[in-house]
Amino acid sequence: ETGVTQTPRHLVMGMTNKKSLKCEQHLGHNAMYWYKQSAKKPLELMFVYSLEERVENNSVPSRFSPECPNSSHLFLHLHTLQPEDSALYLCASSQDPNQPQHFGDGTRLSIL
Amino acid sequence: TQLLEQSPQFLSIQEGENLTVYCNSSSVFSSLQWYRQEPGEGPVLLVTVVTGGEVKKLKRLTFQFGDARKDSSLHITAAQTGDTGLYLCAGANRDDKIIFGKGTRLHILP
């Protein structure tokens, strides 16, 4: 398997639930990213990891908690989300931070 | 705050026509990427431009980076229905941070 794979593709959850999004890359890249994509807004960078260390956290609410156990895997743990958190969450990877990125197909998240 | 403004926001044209979409900023970027995103999928990198004035061609797509490295354009010749999608530009600023524009949503009519 190659590229960037995200699971699940779709997720519906209540505001009190806890769930996790998973991202896996088989490209040998050193950097991984989480983005939020909402209608009528630019892609919002949430977190950047380089060699499993978090190098950027763009004022993201604490109800989003990233985890990078190794250079191939990235998680986004979700708890107590709000309706405005409904969006497409995209994972990406690149050889090094802030270089052209390869994206997964995203997880479409809906908060009830 | 650096911004990348993309225009037009929406464009709907007939198959076979030519079109140009733009990505503009008041800031200088060390490099600029163009991505295409189709419904239900993530963005796919089309090209990276680095040098001011650089022109790159990808079949019917021509990408140009402005001389001052503040703007870029994407020209599509003889558009096809397969060109339909959201076109995103992204720039790496002097701090090496990448920012994205809101995109141009292109719809090619058969």
| Interval A55-66: pLDDT, tens | 877 789 999 999
What is the least distance, in Å, from the CA of A102 to any CA of chain B?
A: 7
Asked whether the beta carbons of residue A101 and residue B45 sit closer than 8 angstroms, the reply is yes
Quick one: tokens of B36?
């295409």
Asked whether the beta carbons of residue A42 and residue B97 sit closer than 8 angstroms, the reply is no
Q: Which residues of B75-109 are buried (b: 16+ CB within 10 A; e: fewer)?
A: ebeebeeebbbbbbbbbbbeeeebbbbbbbbbebe
A5 reaches B (C-beta below 8 A): no
Mutate to test the interface with B, among A7, A24, A25, A37 (most CBs of B within 10 A): A37
Mean pLDDT of chain B: 93
Q: Is the pLDDT of residue B75 over 80?
A: yes
Asked whether the beta carbons of residue A42 and residue B102 sit closer than 8 angstroms, the reply is yes
The CA distance from B36 to B77, in Å, is 16
| Full pLDDT tens readout for chain A, 112 residues | 469 999 999 999 998 889 999 999 999 999 999 999 998 788 899 999 998 888 877 789 999 999 999 999 999 999 999 999 999 999 999 998 878 899 999 999 999 9
Counting Cα atoms < 13 Å in the Cβ hemisphere of A77 gives: 7
> B9-59: per-residue pLDDT in tens?
999 999 999 999 999 998 899 899 999 999 889 999 999 999 999 999 999
